[in-house]
Amino acid sequence: MDISVVIPLFNEEESLPELVRWIERVMDSEKLTYEVLLIDDGSRDGSWGVIEELSEKNSRVHGLRFRRNYGKSAALNMGFRHCNGNVVITMDADLQDSPDEIPALYRMIKEERFDMVSGWKKKRHDPLSKTIPTKIFNGATRFVSGIRLHDFNCGLKAYDHKVVKSIEVYGEMHRYIPVLAKWAGFDRIGEKVVVHRERKYGTTKFGLERFFNGFLDLISISFVTRFGQKPMHLFGLLGTILFMAGFIIAAYLAYAKFFWMGYRMTERPLFYFGLLAMILGTQLFLAGFIGEMISRNAPDRNDYLVESRTKLFGKGQ
């Protein structure tokens, strides 16, 4: 199968028939084999009934429904788990992403050998209350991750099949799939300018709180990608530096007390800074040690992604 189109949705009953017809038209014109996976993230309108009807009319359309709303990341992860296409396309269900972009994205994966291609909504049909925070968010993510993309949060993306089977999207990490892909070893990440269409039906499902949550997730994923399997390298280093700073302060005050006399160590504010530094240093070191023990005893600590192997690798061992 050439393409799997994974579409997470929440309360999009009006747009689904038009979107699926549009995808069918594009795929048939390009003579591509495909499947459409509609992941209903606990919709409260008639979306699931529409999905069932579409699935009955077209055997290439499949639906899955969550019992409640789990979020876009959960829906994408479920779609990735069940897709079968050589190339996986993700897009939103609100018709703001154009299916006409699919053939070009497909060719970038198959012919130009990208692991992943992210859409860039260069011209957006959004109010300033969304565009300005989006620019700040994208700039911060570029700086932290080192990935040169203009639009990390664009729902229209293309992936090689191996990528989606090698990553796990959880929480609200759908914004950072390029970071997860890079962490998994897929560093051929491209970008394509795509059309951002005005919303035709319904209203947006996201508010400003997603940007605050996004920055917190960025801190989280930055830590996990760098120190997830070696927490001692961060906490141990910081703890050692703080403890040594506190120890040097204490040694200086002790020397001053015995050789300069005339005051008590506890009368100097510096004493309390030194004591605090040693306490915090000890706590950070212990946090790193405990984290290291948990990491080393995790069942997947030695699960590494294997690209390929020779025919007889592992035989006779």
Both 106 and 218 in a single domain? yes
Q: Is the same domain home to 76 and 203?
A: yes
Residues 80, 196: one domain?
yes
199 and 90 housed in the same domain: yes
Q: What is the predicted pLDDT for the residue at 255?
A: 80
Residue 308 belongs to a domain? no
Query: Same domain for 202 and 291?
Result: no
Question: pLDDT value at position 43?
Answer: 92
Contacts of 158 (CB under 8 A, 6+ apart): 87, 88, 89, 90, 102, 105, 106, 108, 109, 114, 116, 117
The C-alpha atoms of residue 47 and residue 65 are separated, in whole angstroms, by 10
**pLDDT at residue 125, rounded to an integer:** 65
3-class DSSP state of 295: helix
Q: Are residues 222 and 207 in the same domain?
A: yes
Q: What share of the chain is helix, strand, coil (3-state, %, to 5)?
A: 50, 10, 35
Confidence class of residue 304 from pLDDT cuts 50, 70 and 90? very low
- Judge whether residue 310 has pLDDT over 50: no
Q: Are residues 111 and 138 in the same domain?
A: yes
pLDDT at 87: 97
What average pLDDT does the segment 287-310 reach?
A: 63
Q: Give 178's contacts (C-beta < 8 A, 6+ positions apart).
A: 116, 118, 145, 147, 149, 152, 189
Same domain, 123 and 218: yes
Single out the residue in 205, 227, 249 at which a domain terminates. Answer: 227
Domain with 77 in it: what CATH number?
3.90.550.10
Answer yes or no: is 55 within a domain: yes
What is the pLDDT of the chain when averaged over all its residues? 84
- Of 195, 210, 227, which one is at a domain's C-terminal end? 227
17 and 153 both lie in a single domain = yes
User: Does any domain span residue 315?
Assistant: no
Domain with 247 in it: 232-296
Percentage of the residues of the chain whose pLDDT score is greater than 90: 48
**pLDDT reported for residue 206:** 57
- Domain-embedded: residue 304: no
151-156-158-164 Cα dihedral, nearest 10 degrees: 90
Q: How confident is the model at residue 312 (pLDDT cuts 50, 70, 90)?
A: low
* Residue 128 included in any domain: yes
Look at residue 53 and tell me if it is in a domain. Answer: yes
Q: Please report whether residue 51 resides in a domain.
A: yes
Name the pTM for this structure: 0.75
Go through 120-154 and write b for each residue having 16 or more CB atoms within 10 A of its CB, e for each that does not. bbeeeeeeeebeebbeebbeebeebbebebbbbbb
Could you report the per-residue pLDDT of 191-227, keeping only the tens digit for each? 999 988 877 776 665 555 666 666 677 777 667 666 6
Per-residue pLDDT tens digits for 18-77: 999 999 999 999 999 999 999 999 999 999 999 999 999 999 999 999 999 988 999 999
Q: Would 301 be classed as within a structural domain?
A: no
Q: How many domains does the chain have?
A: 2
**Do 132 and 145 fall within a single domain?**
yes
**Closest-CA residue to 140 (of 218, 212, 209, 80):** 218
Q: Cβ atoms within 10 A of the Cβ of 274, count?
A: 21
Q: Do 272 and 186 sit in the same domain of this protein?
A: no
Summarised one tens digit per residue, pLDDT across range 87-131 is 999 999 999 999 999 999 999 999 999 999 999 988 876 666 667
For residues 132 and 149, the model is more confident at 149
Residues 47, 181 share a domain? yes
88 contacts 156 by C-beta, under 8 angstroms: no
Residue 114 Cα distances to 85, 106, 163, 192, 264, angstroms:
16, 10, 11, 12, 67
Out of 177, 200, 227, pick the residue that ends a domain. 227
